[in-house]
A and B are shown apart, each in its own frame.
Chain A
Amino acid sequence: MNKQRKNSIVARLWTDRWIYIFLLPTVALIGTFTVYPVVASVWYSLLDWNGFGDPGAFIGLDNYRDLWNDPLFWNSFKNTLVFLVFAVPLRVGLALVLAVILNGVFPFVRLFRTGIFLPVVTTAAIVGVVMRYILDPTGGPINFAILETGIVDQPVNFLGSASLALYSAVGIWVWKWLGITVIYWMAALQTIPRDVYEAAELDGANAVQKFFRVTLPILTPFTLIITLITVIEATNVFDLMLTLTGGGPFYSTEVIDIFVYRHAFTSNIPRLGYASAAAIFFAAAVTLVAAVQIFLVTRIRKWRKL
């Protein structure tokens, strides 16, 4: 009986051999360059290791305990959350508005799309350097403009003030990545069949009514997916934050990525184990959030099918 079942498993594996051959390249690549490093990081998180030489001493969960008691870790956790809470809705919402405007055929549309998309294709390091100049309190064009028009009478220190810097970073991040979300939304809009609108027009609906009664309900599942993608991207703002503020001033823009980086590389004596623990802890938290979101997506899909 048992043997028979075993045989049937082997037989099934054999029948499916092509499937496994097809999976092989992915398993090899992702296994080597994504899964293995994560497993290794879990191991590092249990070590007291400065990263200079061979892996250090095993110290169990001490790194996690230190993390729990580190106010700067919770500060970076909070910064990441604040970043998410402001940046994600802003990016998803603005992108939807722009997508609705950009959706269609009219003169220069390609040029406009490319224009909005331009920051997306720019290396984060370049964006960081350029934006530091654009936001400069004395020479920068933004301060020049708002001073000239009299909105403020003192230059605004967008990146240098502890209370403003994180929000400035949110603005720049939304600017940089809005284009790709616009594309996602445009793709979603194109899935809406023409005849639905025609039916609504026959019922005498105007443009606004069409948007709220037809477009939005159809877009609901896309909203969840696009939000999920955006949330994941918003937890990974390393390049931009590093060149823009480096986490300063006084940790006010230190998101988790920068916290990890600081402990792993930029300290005089790095703590690689500690940095790994922070990353693992945070990744677990994000996975949890993402799992909840995916759960909701599938629930809503099922509900819609009923």
Chain B
Amino acid sequence: MSNQNKQIKLSRRAVLAGSGASALMAGMNPMIAFSQDLPTLMWWDIYQPLIPLHQKIWDSFAASGQAKVEYTAANPASFMQSLQLAFRSGELPDVLNIPNATPAQIVSLQEAGWFAPLSDVSFDKPFQKAVDAEGFTTFGGDLFSFPIFSPRWHFASVWYDNEVVTDGSSLGTWDGVRTAAKEATSGERYGLLLPLQFGPRMRDTLIDLAMAAGSPGTIDWATGEYAYASDHFVEALEFLLSFQKDGSLHPASSAVDARQGRARWAAGEAALFFDGPWNSGVLKGNFPDMLAKTGVSGIPTPGGNTAIINRGPITGTFWVSSQSKNPELASKLLSELTTDDYYIGLAERMDQPPLDLSAVGRANVHPTYKQIVDEFTQTVFLAPDPLLRNPAIANVYSKMRDVTPGLGEIIQGAFAGAFDDPKPILQQLSDSMSRERERAINAARDEGAEVSVDDWVFADWTRGKDYAG
């Protein structure tokens, strides 16, 4: 909000300057032209930690006489609803992000006509070209969006209070984490806090832990089948549940989301916290005292070996909406997010790592951040996606519906005591997902799309190697 005030003040000052000067030489000074009626670009996203970085870009965009930016910070939990309603009333902002977007969601939105293509954005450095793909960033050959973040990161680093857990090297194995949590539990402090109320976050954390146990991910690329009911997923869920069994899980876990959970972990209520790389950045901004005594350990595995995490291709981060009155200006503004300076600035915000991972080495970042980004380069590998090989899959994706209960809810249910044995429920999830995929495939076929279940089989994929396609 203070940003907005600043802009209002800025333009007011500029208007005063302009009105005085306009009598003399209207239009001679570019500053005056800018002061009069600069178009406004609305920008909505959920990346509050990036505001200082983006503010500089917005300010210089305004100063160069192109457009003012009015920013609105959105709450991830309700953002999609706001976007839907805004779209219906023709008030989508010029620039927006889709929170936690899946390729299926992006494809559906593109089909519904939400986005406008970017004009004059050059996105052709090698590491940029590598993530530019039809259905993810490009539609019909036109660039619509691009990721600012690297796909190489995961959700499940173990963050710890190094005054309580003095030996971080024990956190590499599941048993080590469990023991550390048990030992840290005393008096008013618990071992671990999990943000159970935030279903999607728990889902992502569990998937990463299952991969650390050896799973290929939610889909077994060798067979194309869903893998939710595999032993790896069951083991990972049991690993999480073991903290509850040991009494080392913070009892408030079930009632907190990631933000509240982090705040309470940072206040010393728990010793350990699973979180993504942004934790460094958020701690620096909100809990600097905690950052000073924070240690981090890579994603733990059952046996202590190095984990192998597979990440599918990623969709673009920011989109220009089809309802924008100034799509060229918005594109121009977004092209500022592809430069080397931007990647360094992004690294320094310590959120998800920048698309150009090497920028982290050149940036001034906290040691914890550097440490986990290094870990990502060793543990995270690129996985395939059927849409990458067969663009007709877009039609299937746009027809697939959510299956309930999803993985996030199943995790919540397991902790809340809604059922005793998670295995049959995970099996049910796998089965319903297969059925839903089958239904969507058939529906897409009815419309003439050439798709089949075999599109999900990637015989040439090897675990532990980047999938090149």
Contact = CB atoms under 8 A, between A and B. Distances in A.
- Specify whether A and B are partners: yes
Contacts of B84: 51-52, 265, 270
B104 to A, nearest CB: 6
B104 A250 contact: no
B418 A138 contact: no
A268 B102 contact: yes
A267 interface: yes
Nearest to A155: B251
A157 B108 contact: no
Given A137-B252, A155-B251, A265-B80, A248 B112 contact: no
Contacts of B53: none
Nearest to B415: A249
Interface string B79-106: 0110010010000000000001010110
Contact of A160 (B104, B112, B254, B401): B254
Given A72-B404, A251-B405, A137 B80 contact: no
B417 A54 contact: no
A84 B111 CA distance: 42
A162 B418 contact: yes
Given A53-B112, A249-B415, A160 B402 contact: no
B252 A139 contact: yes
Contacts of B254: 157, 159-161, 249
B269 A138 contact: yes
B258 to A, nearest CB: 14
B417 A248 contact: no
A113 to B, nearest CB: 32
A161 B416 contact: yes
Nearest to A66: B401
B113 interface: yes
B412 A250 contact: yes
Nearest to A135: B255
B199 interface: yes
Contact of B409 (A50, A51, A138, A250): A250
Contacts of A51: 84
Nearest to B257: A246
B418 A250 contact: yes
A301 B48 CA distance: 61
Contacts of B102: 268
A193 B402 CA distance: 60
Interface residues of B, number: 40
A75 to B, nearest CB: 10
Contact of A249 (B81, B87, B112, B413): B413
Interface in A240-285: 246, 248-252, 265-271
Nearest to B113: A53
Interface residues of A, number: 33
Given A53-B113, A162-B418, A138 B413 contact: no
A248 to B, nearest CB: 5
A137 B80 CA distance: 31
- Determine which residue in A51, A162, A249, A266 has the highest number of CB atoms from chain B within 10 A of its CB, and name it: A249
A277 B439 CA distance: 21
B114 A52 contact: yes
A160 B196 contact: yes
Contact of A52 (B112, B253, B415): B112
Contact of B251 (A132, A157, A162, A249): A157
A246 B400 CA distance: 24
B409 A136 contact: no
A163 interface: yes
B163 to A, nearest CB: 20
B251 A138 contact: yes
B409 A251 contact: yes
Contacts of A265: 80-81, 84
Interface string A118-160: 0000000000000010011111000000000000000101011
Interface in B369-403: 398, 400-402
Contact of B199 (A52, A159, A248): A248
Contacts of A135: 255
Contacts of A271: 401-402
A237 to B, nearest CB: 18
B252 A138 contact: yes
B321 interface: no
A169 to B, nearest CB: 13
A51 B105 CA distance: 12
Contacts of B251: 137-138, 155, 157, 160
Contacts of A137: 251-252, 255
Given A160-B251, A269-B402, A50 B415 contact: no
B405 A250 contact: yes
A132 B255 contact: yes
Interface string A31-56: 00000000000000000001111100
A269 B105 contact: yes
Given A159-B255, A162-B416, A248-B197, 9 more contacts: A53-B114, A155-B251, A157-B255, A159-B254, A160-B416, A161-B417, A249-B412, A249-B415, A269-B398
Interface of B: 80-81, 84, 87, 100, 102, 104-105, 108-109, 111-114, 188, 190, 196-197, 199, 250-255, 269, 398, 400-402, 404-405, 409-410, 412-413, 415-418
6 contacts: A72-B405, A248-B412, A251-B409, A265-B81, A269-B400, A271-B402
- What are the nearest 8 A-B pairs in CB distance? A160-B254, A53-B112, A250-B413, A249-B416, A52-B112, A137-B251, A162-B416, A265-B81
